[in-house]
Structure 1
Amino acid sequence: MADRSGHDDMRGAGEAAAGLVSAEVGHDGLLEALHLNPRVLRLGSHDLAEQIVLAVRAAQRDLLDQIGDGGEEPIAPEGVDPEALMGRLDELELRAEHDFERLTSSLDETLRRLEGRVEGR
């Protein structure tokens, strides 16, 4: 579905952690791709989650810069309540942060187990 602003094919890209975390958002500002360099997994779960949020926000800012606001209020598609959408995006961001924390905690535990096996040889 093409939007009326002509921005339906635009994408935003952002990075964090010196390029070890990169994110891409679609024309709607929602996350489409997240890339993690394996070296970034050395960060603790809290730091990794923070870097992911920074990369996503950078991608969203990149998209907004491409669109340009011209001092005008953004136009929401018909039938979309902008405040409800922003609330939903905030909820998704919090959920993603918690999910990333669980993921990195699991990865930390797996790495500790692997290190224990290597040391036990």
Structure 2
Amino acid sequence: MLDFLNRAVTVDTYTLVVVAMLSGWAGVLTLHVLSRTVLALIFVPGFILGALITNYVFELTGFYPTPDRETNIVVACTLGIIFALFVLLLCLRVTAILSGLRVERHQFKRDLRRA
């Protein structure tokens, strides 16, 4: 964990620019698709974290899809943002289901039987 935090803080400028640009555009697209500003603002840090984690995992495992370093950074960040989107949407769906069950449990119930 400390190694990830150290590498996340000391990434080069190119990686920071790629992460910022891709996360920003993903946030804008999320805003237009979901039409909720707060959700888009919550999703952007998740996109950034997903991009940085995937970039770290690519470097840690030595997985390089292309021989070009810059292209590998873009591929890793893009895959990280896609994975983060799936995780965030799954969390959003689970939260909606759980809140629906909670509301249903606390509603008043009428007894429709006649005595």
TM class, shorter-chain normalised?
A: 0.3 to 0.5
TM-score, scaled to structure 1: 0.40
Point out the structure with the larger strand share: 1
Higher helix share goes to which structure?
A: 2
